Amino acid sequence: MDRVSDYDVVVVGASLAGCTAAILFGRAGLRVALVERHRQVDAYKKVCTHFIQPSGIPTLERLGLLPALRDAGGVISGMEFWSRWGWVCPPDHGCEAAVASRGLNIRREKIDPILRRAARSTPGVELLLGYTAKRLLKQGSRVTGVVVEGQDGETRELMAPLTVGADGRDSQIARMASVKARIKPHNRFMYYAYYRDIDMGPDRKPRIWVLEPDLAYAFPTDDGLTLMACAPSKAKLASFKSDIAGNFTRLTTSLPRGPQFYDSQRVSEFSGIVDFNNVYRCVT
């Protein structure tokens, strides 16, 4: 028999967006059900380059979590861009433009548990670990909540005037609500790996190379690691996969003012994303 619980908001997905929404709703005095399919509070997203853009820093400050993320090794810095026209480098001094250009690099295995624990400790927020959304509850055309199922087979009806689908780019909630996605291919694939002791210069600034049509990234992150990534044109996929390590090394070592690999050590396997389209949805 289903258990029925009433909330003000149901948030499906306890990752970065879901935890942020749950914390802010909870602080506003609302009762929030935060649903997460993983059973462990320390679960984290595995495939991610983990760069938080400068526009996200004010939200982390609003949450009060920026000090904890810095203590966990997060690297806050401006980013440098290279294109065929040369380098674009934000100013280093403490002017408004320099502050506004600073993003945050920290691995998901660090940031995800920090946000999830912050959400769990927020008054009004109930974190439901190990539950998966199965169907939406409706009255006519209006969504009134979600039916979730635990890993032990228990089902619960979570009733709420507002349901938030924060369950990622392949959102089940969006499909259940018939929210159409606008998909725009960017015709690239990506491979990345973590390296230790790459020489990124004294400032360890993140860098992006716009190679037209290829892209490359270097994101210095916590624990002295750097995430190196390349996103070549999809037309190169077959040849690239024939020698992933060799092709990756050749591309990244040829970058203008690229990282120095001499004393570095690759400390992870290569992770790849072959189909990674841009997905846009409107609020409904």
The HSE-up count of residue 57 (CA atoms within 13 Å, CB side) is 18
Would you give per-residue pLDDT tens digits along the chain (284 residues)? 467 789 999 999 999 999 999 999 999 999 999 999 999 999 999 888 888 988 999 999 999 999 999 999 999 888 899 999 999 987 766 555 555 678 899 999 999 999 999 999 999 999 999 999 999 999 998 999 999 999 989 999 999 999 999 998 889 999 999 998 899 988 999 999 999 988 887 778 899 999 999 999 999 999 999 999 999 999 999 999 999 999 999 999 899 988 888 888 999 999 988 887 888 888 77
pLDDT value at residue 46: 87
CA distance 102 to 66: 13
pLDDT value at residue 204: 80
CA distance 97 to 186: 30
pLDDT value at residue 1: 43
A 10 A CB-CB count for 253 gives: 11
**DSSP letters along 20-48, please?**
HHHHHHHHTT--EEEEES-S-TT---SS-
CA distance 14 to 165: 10
The HSE-up count of residue 117 (CA atoms within 13 Å, CB side) is 13
The HSE-up count of residue 24 (CA atoms within 13 Å, CB side) is 13
pTM: 0.91
pLDDT value at residue 139: 93
Angle at 125 between CA 119 and CA 126, to 5 degrees: 105
Picking from 82, 72, 76, 73, the residue whose alpha carbon sits closest to that of residue 53 is: 76
CA distance 196 to 173: 39
The long-range contacts involving 221-224, CB below 8 angstroms and separated by at least 24 positions, are 221/50, 221/73, 221/74, 221/75, 221/105, 221/106, 221/107, 222/72, 222/73, 222/74, 222/75, 222/105, 222/106, 222/107, 222/110, 223/73, 223/107, 224/196, 224/197
Q: Residues 92-116: pLDDT tens digits? A: 665 555 556 788 999 999 999 999 9
What residue ranges define each of the domains in the chain, with the CATH number in brackets? 3-50+110-179 (3.50.50.60), 75-102+186-277 (3.30.9.100)
CA distance 186 to 275: 10
Element (H, E) at 253: helix 244-253
Picking from 76, 22, 68, the residue whose alpha carbon sits closest to that of residue 52 is: 76
Q: What is the DSSP letter of 195?
A: E
